[in-house]
């Protein structure tokens, strides 16, 4: 992408940058690939967020983990319900000389089984496993939301880093042009005998420094654009331009509103609470080893010497007998002795539960610290931003006046060089200050979930 059209046309950019001299010529901005002839894609910050949510792999991995956790919960829930199976088999046993079976594996030399089975397992461990999976699903959901809010910070940082790099490139072009003009001015004054040759040497050194700074600004913009391109586009499209203004007026929310939103539904606290619940269910599941479990089975179908609904009666009887029938089985399993394995599992689960409680307490304290720190950071950045803007304006005016004084022989060459350096530094600080405030607002939304936009 190139700079905005206003800059190419030699006009002042949309965000005012103090200018000590004539408007810059068109800055040549390098790109990773040759720009296509088509118009660049104009993307807003919300467009960038939508693209990042589609293509950023770390965020997608959190969504996948949350989806897998939901399926785990569904599977553990289904394990609590009766299941139905249908089985068909044939068993063969070698008969003896009397027509019976030689081994007792079967009731007849050929036994056919075709029946449905309803099975229900009743135990405390299965209930605890379901509750644990539900808590873990809540953890995964909260972590996905944390990743979503963190992605906003990443996108906003890279988006406005490009905007700041564009503005810095404009300033670098200005200072580079001013360095060239000042070098020419010192040569003219030297020819007129008004300044010494040392002034020309100092001006040339300054000019070379400004050229290098301009090339570094070009490289910084290229790298910033590449970072954003990789984050947003699956096809590595670098033919885009930004629509949102880095210096748009965005008010800071009131502290009371911010704290209320941050404390209302914080995903980090929700994740920690759900982890405590999951650990508590682990304790319950391990204690289930002390209690009995009940298994219930019901079968309906055939279990006969003929694979048929009816079987003929053995001679000399005449007629047939019904093969369809049912049976039921209830099993009670009583744990008696396992060398203390259950007790060990209970102690292990309790240790993990206590650890999650400590982590919950830390998350609560950390939230309070972040609430104060993030808001203070945003407040400080906002308060400093007006001063940085004013400093940039004063630096531009100082450079203009110092250059005029040098032309009139009232200032030294070092004063002009210092004024140029101050102008470049003040403008860079102004762009960095605007970016800092935007990032501070983005950090606020990691606690509230509300993105502050113009």
pLDDT computed for residue 11 by the predictor: 35
Cα angle: 147, vertex 149, 154; to 5 degrees:
85
pLDDT for res 430: 95
Residue 356 has pLDDT above 80, yes or no: yes
Query: 383: Cβ–Cβ under 8 A, 6 or more apart, which residues?
Result: none
Residues 6+ apart with CB under 8 A from 320: 310, 311, 312, 313
Shared-domain flag, residues 77 and 205: yes
The Cα–Cα gap between 417 and 207 comes to 10
Predicted TM-score (pTM) of the model is 0.80
**Helix axes of 413-448 and 255-264: crossing angle, nearest 10 degrees:** 40
Position 32 scores a pLDDT of 42
Mean pLDDT of 215-242: 94
Which domain CATH number covers 104? 2.20.200
Q: Is the pLDDT of residue 343 over 50?
A: yes
Both 50 and 155 in one domain: the answer is yes
Whether residues 254 and 106 fall in one domain: no
Q: pLDDT tens-digit profile of 377-422?
A: 999 999 999 999 999 999 999 999 999 999 888 888 899 999 999 9
Whether residues 47 and 171 share a domain: the answer is: yes
Per-residue pLDDT of 190-211, as tens digits, reads 898 888 999 999 999 999 999 9
What pLDDT, on the 0 to 100 scale, is given for residue 3? 38
In order, the DSSP letters of 308-353 are: SSEEEPPTT--SEEE-EEEEEEEEEE-----TTHHHHHHHHHHHHH
Statement to judge: residues 318 and 442 lie in one domain: no
Sign of CA dihedral 408, 413, 417, 419: negative
Residue 94: the pLDDT is: 75
Nearest-Å Rg of the Cα atoms of the chain is: 39
The reply to whether 133 falls in a domain is yes
Residue 15: which domain range?
5-81+124-290+354-448
Of 334, 368, 386, which one is at a domain's C-terminal end?
Answer: 334
Q: Based on the domain organization, do 430 and 408 belong to the same domain?
A: yes
Which DSSP letter does residue 449 get? S
Q: Are 227 and 23 in contact (CB under 8 A)?
A: no
How far from chain centre, in Å, is Cα 354?
29
pLDDT-derived band at 28, boundaries 50, 70, 90: very low
Bigger pLDDT: 191 or 4? 191
| Average pLDDT of the residues in 236-257 | 91
Whether residues 89 and 147 share a domain: the answer is: no
In a domain, 341, yes or no: no
In angstroms, the CA 173 to CA 179 distance is 10
Asked if residue 437 has pLDDT above 70, the reply is yes
Q: Are residues 145 and 202 in the same domain?
A: yes
Supply the mean pLDDT for the chain: 87
| pLDDT above 70 (res 88) | yes
Report whether pLDDT(369) > 60.
yes
In this structure, are 179 and 273 located in the same domain?
yes
Distance from first CA to last CA of the chain, Å, rounded?
Answer: 24
pLDDT band at 110 (very low <50, low <70, confident <90, very high): confident
Q: What are phi and psi of 55, to 5 degrees?
A: -120, -10
Mean pLDDT along residues 219-238: 93
Q: What is the pLDDT of residue 26?
A: 37
Residue 15 in this model has a pLDDT that exceeds 70: no
Together in a domain, 326 and 377: no
Instruction: List, for residues 140-172, the tens digit of each pLDDT value.
Output: 999 999 999 999 999 999 999 999 999 999 999
β-strands 324-333, 293-304 pairing = antiparallel
Region of 177 (left: φ > 0; alpha: ψ -120 to 50; beta: rest) is alpha
Reply yes or no on whether the pLDDT at 316 is more than 80.
no
Structure tokens at 220: 């910084």
Most confident listed range (313-322, 407-416, 429-438): 429-438
One domain for residues 101 and 216: no
Check pLDDT > 80 for residue 299.
yes
Euclidean distance between CA atoms 301 and 327, whole angstroms: 9
């Amino acid at each position: 992408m190139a700079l905005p059209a206003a800059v190419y046309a030699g006009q002042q950019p949309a965000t005012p940058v103090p200018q000590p001299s004539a408007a810059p010529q068109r800055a040549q901005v390098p790109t990773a690939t040759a720009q296509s002839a088509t118009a660049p894609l104009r993307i807003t910050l919300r467009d960038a967020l939508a693209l990042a949510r589609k293509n950023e792999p770390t965020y997608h991995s959190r969504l996948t983990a949350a989806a897998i956790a939901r399926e785990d919960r569904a599977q553990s829930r289904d394990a609590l319900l009766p299941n139905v199976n249908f089985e068909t088999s044939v068993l063969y046993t070698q008969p003896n000389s009397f027509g019976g079976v030689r081994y007792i594996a079967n009731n007849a030399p050929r036994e056919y089984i075709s029946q449905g089975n309803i099975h229900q397992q009743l135990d405390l461990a299965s209930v605890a496993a379901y509750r644990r999976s539900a808590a873990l699903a809540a953890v995964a959901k909260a972590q996905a939301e944390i990743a979503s809010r963190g992605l906003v910070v990443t996108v906003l940082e890279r988006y406005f880093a490009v905007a700041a790099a564009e503005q810095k490139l404009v300033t670098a072009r200005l200072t580079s042009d001013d360095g060239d003009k000042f070098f020419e001015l010192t040569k003219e004054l030297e020819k007129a005998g008004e300044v010494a040759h040392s002034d020309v040497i100092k001006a040339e050194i300054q000019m070379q420094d400004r050229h290098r700074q301009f090339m570094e600004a070009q490289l910084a913009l290229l790298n910033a654009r590449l970072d954003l391109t990789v984050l947003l586009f699956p096809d590595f499209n670098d033919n885009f331009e930004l629509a949102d203004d880095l210096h748009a007026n965005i008010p800071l929310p009131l502290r009371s509103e911010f704290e209320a939103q941050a404390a209302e539904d914080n995903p980090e606290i929700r994740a920690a609470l759900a982890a405590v619940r999951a650990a508590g269910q682990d304790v319950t599941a391990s204690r289930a080893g002390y209690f009995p479990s009940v298994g219930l089975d019901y079968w309906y179908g055939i279990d006969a010497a003929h694979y048929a609904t009816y079987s003929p009666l053995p001679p000399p009887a005449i007629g047939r007998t019904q093969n369809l029938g049912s049976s039921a089985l209830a099993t009670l399993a009583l744990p008696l002795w396992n060398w203390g394995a259950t007790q060990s599992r209970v102690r292990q689960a309790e240790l993990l539960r206590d650890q999650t409680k400590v982590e919950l307490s830390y998350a609560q304290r950390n939230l309070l610290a972040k609430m104060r720190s993030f808001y203070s950071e945003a407040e400080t950045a906002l308060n400093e931003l007006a001063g940085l803007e004013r400093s940039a304006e004063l630096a531009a005016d100082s450079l203009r006046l110092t250059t005029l004084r040098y032309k009139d022989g009232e200032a030294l060459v070092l004063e002009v060089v210092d004024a140029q350096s101050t102008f470049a530094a003040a403008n860079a600080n102004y762009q960095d200050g605007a970016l800092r405030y935007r990032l501070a607002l983005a950090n606020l939304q990691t606690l509230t979930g509300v993105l502050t936009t113009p």
